[in-house]
A and B are shown apart, each in its own frame.
Chain A
């Protein structure tokens, strides 16, 4: 993927933009956790797409407000694939114009295996540091972080936030595993558990990211994936 191309193949929208199955009941907007922010409204997006105002949507800032939670799509009585449309619109934007953090993070992940360009030794240091903190808590004295453990039952990915600003969340997960006696592991490389390829409509990038995780699972002989993004 070069910087100034779009993610969509041959520039074709990934949805049927010539139809508007929407009967404007508004359930999608009522359900949407971000409706109203930046005047975001799923109905508006569906209608503009039906009107062929694709270029405007691609240029607009507000389609990037959507968190891809999919509640709109789940509740739509007419079965309009709203989340797919959002992805389709995002896929049409030139990659270097994808909102900064998403674009840079994804590029970093593709290059280095994680959004933060965090070197492996720093990453491992953080994991051990967090594990050390857990061991200080009563009942968790024997805690060990499980890295690249072959034959574990669960492989869990790590959202980059969890080794950056939100290490507390990492602790919660690990403490649960420990208390439950779960057989688990994290990867030492390609551990990133974000779906920014999915989020930006970049299916090719998504494929690379997902492929890496699959490779890990195969290499470690693990059948269950936990992807707590």
Chain B
């Protein structure tokens, strides 16, 4: 059966993604908010291709299911269309917010936003003036972006070169961290575009009743008071995700970042993954100024990998033991548990983090290879410690972070140490944390990612809570709560891994004396 991807967003990136997916043998449903979907795009619609379907004037109403079996309820022209898809691509456009309000300005024919401004507006030819006739505001109301800087510099340069009009740019940090921008800014300055930078104070901007514009500021270079009375004031814009992208993030339960961009800022989602397997964020919905072709290529690879059966067994819920409490449904960070007549795991969406299994109050969820008794342990070669020997301890390590660090821990003394890698520290139940003590070991380390770095979002939080539980139990039995300890380590912290183990050994030796 041919797989199908649903792409939201009739954008350049969306169309390129569609073409590549069709080439790769994946059917495509392209949902466009526009009707007809006719706006000019650099890439043409693959309308004539077999396996391609366009839903114009459409939007997502609801989404059920998970990777490999999404059910999408789409609204189009007053009716509801139900479609299934194996994967979803969010490729919506960006939106621009003119920053007039942030500067206390109102839009007017002479106080325009950057994308509304065009040198053609300046006819009839600008009246001769002393200072700059056009002033651009850039990054003085919040930090700007190289995209905006590039547009501003281009516009000012064109004014100077093609129309002989003096322009000035009033900026905070001039963002030139993009290909060719430093050279462009030099070209603009060489052409006579004046750039005034502000570190702390901001220019005072007034518009008079007769439409005249006045800017007063202290030039931080000369220290002198300056007054400019340009005929046009061009206000910069903030690039934000479109309403469509924000709606999709909400309806698809996708994390967003501080600016509302789809994908969020967990580094493990880079480049185009999201917190849900099978849902991909590409182009302007996830990032400002991303190259549509590069984003499309990344999106296709991500979709194809989501369609591939991932190695390893997935979580399975034992129907006989399940009491339908839906804990698994609530805790799964990957939305891999779907509710049919009872909760079931969508195998293509499961990331084997094991959080559901650890949280299930009935122990009804099993992930082959991940049960306490099956855990692969790199057993210490040293003999069991005697009265004065090294303490025996187990370090449970998240395989994405501490597990990698453990392998790079050059100076690690492995005597008495068992390293147990788990896909996510969130998979550790309190029972698993206490098991080493039943074998006569003296301590347990729970080694996780840093907060906000967890691939399974809250895995670290779950691990922290269970470490607390285990510590509480040890305290109650008088064994010492310090025998179980949570440590956050990144994959590149091999030295810190060895140090943490050494320090914990010292703690355990101290506890022997008490």
In the complex, B197 has a CB within 8 A of chain A: yes
Nearest CB of B to A166, in Å: 37
B221, A24: Cβ atoms closer than 8 Å: yes
Within A45-70, which residues are at the interface with B (CB < 8 Å)? 47-48, 50-51
In the complex, A78 has a CB within 8 A of chain B: yes
Q: 1/0 per residue B453-472: CB within 8 Å of A?
A: 00000000000000000000
Are A19 and B222 also in contact (CB < 8 A) when A24-B197, A78-B186 are?
no
In the complex, A35 has a CB within 8 A of chain B: no
In the complex, A179 has a CB within 8 A of chain B: no
Q: Which of B174, B194, B220, B223 is in CB contact (< 8 Å) with A20?
A: B194
In the complex, B260 has a CB within 8 A of chain A: no
Q: 1/0 per residue B208-230: CB within 8 Å of A?
A: 00000000000111110000000
Q: Is the interface of A mostly helix, strand, loop or mixed?
A: loop
Are A18 and B192 also in contact (CB < 8 A) when A23-B185, A78-B186 are?
yes
Q: Which of B189, B191, B223 is in CB contact (< 8 Å) with A39?
A: B223
Are A51 and B194 also in contact (CB < 8 A) when A19-B189, A21-B186 are?
yes
Which residue on A lies nearest to B130, using beta carbons? Answer: A52
Interface size of A as a range? 10 to 19
A43, B221: Cβ atoms closer than 8 Å: yes
In the complex, A44 has a CB within 8 A of chain B: yes
Nearest CB of A to B277, in Å: 46
State the CA gap A138–B174 with chains docked (Å).
65
Contacts of A41 in B (CB 8 A): 221
Contacts of A78 in B (CB 8 A): 186
In the complex, B438 has a CB within 8 A of chain A: no
Interface size of B as a range? 10 to 19
In the complex, A145 has a CB within 8 A of chain B: no
Nearest CB of A to B472, in Å: 57
Are A47 and B192 also in contact (CB < 8 A) when A21-B186, A24-B197, A78-B186 are?
no
A44, B221: Cβ atoms closer than 8 Å: yes
State the CA gap A78–B187 with chains docked (Å).
11
Contacts of B191 in A (CB 8 A): 19
State the CA gap A20–B222 with chains docked (Å).
13
State the CA gap A50–B166 with chains docked (Å).
12
Contacts of B221 in A (CB 8 A): 22, 24, 41, 43-44, 47
B222, A44: Cβ atoms closer than 8 Å: yes
Contacts of B189 in A (CB 8 A): 19-23
B190, A19: Cβ atoms closer than 8 Å: yes
Contacts of B223 in A (CB 8 A): 39, 44
Contacts of A44 in B (CB 8 A): 221-223
Contacts of A50 in B (CB 8 A): 192, 194
Q: 1/0 per residue B175-197: CB within 8 Å of A?
A: 00000000001100111101101
Nearest CB of B to A39, in Å: 7
A47, B186: Cβ atoms closer than 8 Å: no
State the CA gap A102–B171 with chains docked (Å).
41
Contacts of B219 in A (CB 8 A): 47
Nearest CB of A to B7, in Å: 42
Which residue on A lies nearest to B220, using beta carbons? Answer: A24
Within B423-477, which residues are at the interface with A (CB < 8 Å)? none
Chain A CB within 10 Å, residue with most, of B189, B194, B221: B221
State the CA gap A7–B11 with chains docked (Å).
63
State the CA gap A48–B226 with chains docked (Å).
11
Within B138-187, which residues are at the interface with A (CB < 8 Å)? 174, 185-186
Which residue on A lies nearest to B168, using beta carbons? Answer: A51
Contacts of B190 in A (CB 8 A): 19, 21
Nearest CB of A to B225, in Å: 13
State the CA gap A22–B219 with chains docked (Å).
14
Contacts of B186 in A (CB 8 A): 21, 23, 78
Q: 1/0 per residue A16-41: CB within 8 Å of B?
A: 00111111100000000000000101
State the CA gap A43–B224 with chains docked (Å).
13
Contacts of B174 in A (CB 8 A): 23
State the CA gap A47–B222 with chains docked (Å).
7
Contacts of B185 in A (CB 8 A): 23
Known pairs A21-B189, A39-B223, A44-B222 / 12 extra A-B pairs, C-beta < 8 Å: A18-B192, A19-B189, A20-B189, A20-B194, A21-B190, A23-B195, A24-B220, A41-B221, A44-B221, A44-B223, A47-B222, A51-B194
Contacts from B to A (Cβ < 8 Å): 174, 185-186, 189-192, 194-195, 197, 219-223
Q: What are 13 residue pairs bridging A and B, where the CB atoms are less than 8 Å apart in the complex?
A: A19-B189, A19-B190, A20-B189, A20-B192, A21-B186, A21-B189, A23-B189, A24-B197, A24-B220, A41-B221, A44-B222, A47-B219, A50-B192
Q: Give the 4 A-B residue pairs with the shortest CB-CB distance, closest first.
A: A47-B221, A44-B222, A18-B192, A43-B221
